[in-house]
Amino acid sequence: MNIVLFGEDIFTAAVLKGLVTDNQQISAVICPFYKENQEYKSLQKAAKENHIPFLRVDDVNAGEMRERLLDLAPDLIITVHLKRILHYSIYSIAEKAAINVHPSLLPKYRGLSPQHQALLNGDKVTGVTIHFIDEKPDTGDVILQEEIPLDSDTSIFELQTKMLSIYKYLVSLAVKKMEANRFTRVRQDEKQASWYGRLKRSDREIDFKKSKSEIYNLIRAVSKPYKGAFHNGVTVWTSFFPERLTEERLMDKYPGAGIYFVEDQVIMRLKDGVLLSPDFEKSEM
């Protein structure tokens, strides 16, 4: 199957490598050009190593892009973590279909921060969805999904590592099913849908009106490789719950909500208890 791949990061590179391993024909890799994107180099390297044209374009929906796609005549367009929404005039060029890879179990967590949201909300399971592209983002019929169990201490780095391994084979599996016409289109249940935008700086700020579980989830959801949870010039990278007797003692000693420093450790006094962290920086990020 003749495929054109749109993407801009290491996750797209993982999909590319999986497709190449399965001997799929990749006519081109398209990557949007914008100054905030510094993650494209892994994708560029993967394309170069496999002798696949790599194109960085200012506008993925421009007329020039449409003309290039018409020349490439793809059977399938695949988008992976593309932060630009493809117009119908672009994705409809694909002869068979256009599909997207989304890092949640759609229709839950549509939008730009699905991996973070699963951790922020303390979910026990998340996953990866392969779905058809339609005119509204992340709403197309589902082709394939794979669940990922989440432990209470799973970090965003650990979750993304698991997702990378799934991306390497799940998209290829979906393509094979489409080639053989051995899949069932599953319509998304709009009653179960949720949508979240990109995380803002304010979303990372520690709010001492929230519970210790909520702050613990925040810390693991925005830790490295992201910018971390912060408050008043302190960035916290990891945290843990103290033992009950230790927590009771600290609650008595520090009755007011806030951050306290004891030796090489941060004490976060929340409304319902205490979190501890030895992994912090005294510089807001």
Q: What is the pLDDT along the chain (285 residues), one digit of tens a residue?
A: 999 999 999 999 999 999 999 999 999 999 999 877 778 999 999 999 999 999 999 999 999 999 999 999 999 999 999 999 999 999 999 999 999 999 999 999 999 999 999 999 999 999 999 999 999 999 999 999 999 999 999 999 999 999 999 999 999 999 999 999 999 999 999 999 999 999 999 999 999 999 999 999 999 999 999 999 999 999 999 999 999 999 999 999 999 999 999 989 999 999 999 999 999 999 744
In sequence order, the 6+-apart residues with CB closer than 8 A to the CB of 106 are: 129, 131, 138, 142, 145, 188
Using N-to-C axis directions, what is the helix angle for 41-49 and 10-21, rounded to 10°?
20
No. of helices (H) and no. of strands (E), the chain: 8, 15
CATH number of 201-281: 3.10.25.10
DSSP 229: E
Give the residue carrying structure tokens 């199957």: 1
The total number of residues written for the chain in this structure: 285
Q: Given CA atoms 30, 35, 36, 39 in this order, what sign does their dihedral have?
A: positive
Q: Are strands 234-236 and 280-281 parallel, antiparallel or unpaired?
A: antiparallel
In terms of DSSP H, where are the helices of 87-228? 88-91, 114-120, 156-180, 212-221
- Asked if residue 121 lies in contact with residue 216, where contact means CB atoms within 8 angstroms, the answer is no
pLDDT at residue 23, as a whole number: 95
The rounded distance, in Å, linking the Cα atoms of 133 and 140 is: 5
Question: Could you give the CA distance from residue 73 to residue 27 in angstroms, rounded to a whole number?
Answer: 9
- CATH architecture assigned to 2-196: 3-Layer(aba) Sandwich (3.40)
Q: What is the pTM of this model?
A: 0.94
Tokens standing for residue 42: 């892994």
pLDDT at res. 285: 44
Cβ atoms of 193 and 102 closer than 8 Å: no
Q: Do domains 2-196 and 201-281 have the same CATH topology?
A: no
The structural domains of the chain, with segments of one domain joined by +, span 2-196, 201-281
